[in-house]
Amino acid sequence: MAIIDQTSGLAARFAMDPEFPDRVPKERYYDPDFYQLEVERLWPRVWQMACRLEEIPRPHDVVEYEFLDQSVMVLRTGDMGVAAFQNACRHRGVRLVQGRATCADGFTCPFHGWCYTVDGTNTRVPRRKSFARHNMEPGDIDLVPVRCETWGGCAWINFDNDAPPVRECMEPSASILDAWKVESLRTEKWYAARLPVNWKLAVEAFVEMYHVVVTHPQLDIPGMRYSLRPDAPFEPRAFIDAEIDYLRVMSEGMDGMVHANDVRVAEGLRGMELPADPNLAISTWNRALNDAIINWHRERRADIPDINQLDEQGLNDTFYQCFPHYFVLPMYSSASSYRFRPLGPEETLMEIWSLARFPEGEEPGPPAPPEVWDAADPRWPPIPAQDFSNLPRQQQGLHARGFEYMRLNEHLEGHISNLERTIDGFLAGLPYERLLPALRSVNNSPFDKPVLDLGL
Ligand code: FES
Ligand SMILES: [Fe+2]
């Protein structure tokens, strides 16, 4: 499908070529006009993860969500729902909230003192009578609401009043992550990176496994389940050691995702007996580890699903996209989570959360917003540090005169094509009925996904 402007009928430059869906034109990652098309056609129509709900735990807590040149305030209502407003005073536009606040008494503009209730109603205009009546129309001086819904432990906003509800737009990730009880996770760590790359380039560094062996060689541990060779003899003891090594390297490498508690639970199983048959050994180990982790958390009254049951239902992958910019990476009890925000054609803000389960009543307080680090900051945990070391070089390499397009492996990197073509669907201005099947394909586990027919 080419990007065809529904009003002018003109095809946009740098659309994905329907004949070669495994090639991505390089200009999509830096051309200012293409970026502007995304600003106008993609972002105003999609659900954006505006904040985690633990950032606004009490009634009238409010947090500012900034995106491109927009600012939205997201607040907890008195009944523990959420609401959102455009963050601009109706007088002369001053942003009413910066960062975080509580607004039990509503909002007072610091410039001339206009006041608004928590539901956005204007209650005070100093020297009201001296304004012309047409500028004081009731309703016209209230805060402008923004669509806001909750799902998955987060508040989501959308500038498109015609978009389906957030949960419907995130299927099947939504149902799978609900079964995994994603909503009961809380923030344990929160990182932010300013990356000198296009937002899609940043996203696409994380949606395939093809890079893992070379970029993260420490994850290629001989003897673990992913590296078992059919011709090599199977050693149950060595297998268990390799599995536990893998979990520890993941946990330390991500500063989360596999929680340190889960690694300790795995350590406790080191002496267990396994069948000699490799397939039976792998499934026995997985079941035992899942059971031990479930029991550890339930003894502490933490909310955790039966992850063995999810395994049986095929609902226990380690990566789920929520198009376009939010991701959850569940492993055992815990998860990493990513959000990407464009800052310009070649600059992106990426956040990483380490999410964990806590006993009821022992959840941590609102997480402190992270300091934003550069890609090369020495404080990054090893795995993101490795991914971030490639990204600036890739963004620079794309500009090479002799480089025209990325050539994707249509089996291992198909998700990138699926993602790019779904974006083209938005850029073409297609209605949501036509976009939903593509969203169903993209909002799923991206690893080793082939290039799919998206029906666009
Ligand atoms: S800009 Fe808000 S009161 Fe004037
Ligand atoms: Fe990676």
Q: What is the pLDDT of residues 148-168, one digit of tens each?
A: 999 999 999 999 999 999 999
- What pLDDT shows up at residue 63? 98
Q: How far is the CA of 130 from the centre of ligand 1 (A)?
A: 15
Which atom from ligand 1 is nearest to the alpha carbon of 92? 1
Distance of CA 53 to the CA centre of its chain: 14
Whose atoms come closest to the Cα of 128: which ligand?
A: 1
- What pLDDT shows up at residue 222? 84
d(CA 58, CA 338): 24
- What pLDDT shows up at residue 9? 59
* One-letter amino acid for residue 358 of the chain: F
How many degrees, rounded to 5, is the angle at CA 342 between CA 336 and CA 343? Answer: 120
Q: How far is the CA of 255 from the centre of ligand 2 (A)?
A: 14
For CA atoms 99, 95, 87, 110, give the dihedral sign: positive
Choice from 85, 109, 115 to test ligand 1 binding pocket (greatest atom count within 8 A of CB): 109
Res. 310: pLDDT tops 80: yes
Would you tell me how many other CB atoms lie within 10 Å of the CB of residue 283? 15
Confidence of residue 315 (pLDDT cuts 50, 70, 90): confident
Res. 1: pLDDT tops 60: no
* One-letter amino acid for residue 65 of the chain: Y
At 258, list the tokens: 């596999």
Res. 136: pLDDT tops 60: yes
Give residue ranges with CB within 6 A of ligand 1.
Answer: 89, 91-92, 94, 109, 111-114
List 423's β-bridge partners, or say none.
Answer: none
Confidence of residue 8 (pLDDT cuts 50, 70, 90): low
Choice from 86, 111, 125 to test ligand 1 binding pocket (greatest atom count within 8 A of CB): 111
DSSP secondary structure, 401-443, as one string: TT--EEE--TTTSHHHHHHHHHHHHHHTT--HHHHHHHHHHHS
- What pLDDT shows up at residue 416? 98
Res. 99: pLDDT tops 70: yes
10: exposed, middle or buried (Cβ count in 10 Å: 0-12, 13-18, 19+): exposed
Q: What is the pLDDT of residues 205-249, one digit of tens each?
A: 999 999 999 999 999 888 888 777 777 888 999 999 999 999 999
* One-letter amino acid for residue 376 of the chain: A
Taking every pair of Cα atoms in the chain, the longest distance, rounded to a whole number of angstroms, is: 89
Q: What is the pLDDT of residues 246-291, one digit of tens each?
A: 999 999 999 999 999 999 999 999 999 999 999 999 999 999 999 9
Q: How far is the CA of 89 from the centre of ligand 1 (A)?
A: 6
Q: Whose CA is nearest to atom 3 of ligand 1?
A: 112
Res. 337: pLDDT tops 70: yes
* Phi, psi at 393, each rounded to 5°: -65, -35
Of all residues in the chain, what percent carry a pLDDT higher than 70?
Answer: 98
Q: How far is the CA of 285 from the centre of ligand 2 (A)?
A: 26
Q: Which one, of 98, 65, 69, lies nearest residue 83 by Cα?
A: 65
Q: How far is the CA of 171 from the centre of ligand 2 (A)?
A: 25
Whose atoms come closest to the Cα of 207: which ligand?
A: 2
* Phi, psi at 105, each rounded to 5°: -95, 15
Which atom from ligand 1 is nearest to the alpha carbon of 90? 2
At 194, list the tokens: 């300013």
Which atom from ligand 1 is nearest to the alpha carbon of 89? 2
- What pLDDT shows up at residue 10? 54
Q: Residue 287 contacts by C-beta under 8 Å, 6 or more apart in sequence?
A: 308
- What pLDDT shows up at residue 187? 98
Confidence of residue 70 (pLDDT cuts 50, 70, 90): very high
Whose atoms come closest to the Cα of 114: which ligand?
A: 1
Q: What is the pLDDT of residues 14-61, one digit of tens each?
A: 999 999 999 999 999 999 999 999 999 999 999 999 999 999 999 999
Q: How far is the CA of 414 from the centre of ligand 1 (A)?
A: 50
The three-class DSSP label of residue 189 is: strand
Whose atoms come closest to the Cα of 125: which ligand?
A: 1
- What is the pairing mode between strands 405-407 and 23-25? antiparallel
d(CA 48, CA 199): 14
| pLDDT, mean of residues 190-196 | 98
Q: How far is the CA of 91 from the centre of ligand 1 (A)?
A: 5
At 36, list the tokens: 């502007």
Which of 385 and 314 is assigned the larger pLDDT?
Answer: 385
- What pLDDT shows up at residue 229? 78
Confidence of residue 177 (pLDDT cuts 50, 70, 90): very high
pLDDT averaged over the chain?
Answer: 95
Confidence of residue 66 (pLDDT cuts 50, 70, 90): very high
Of all residues in the chain, what percent carry a pLDDT higher than 90?
Answer: 91
d(CA 233, CA 221): 16
Decide: 195 and 376 in contact? Cβ < 8 Å. no
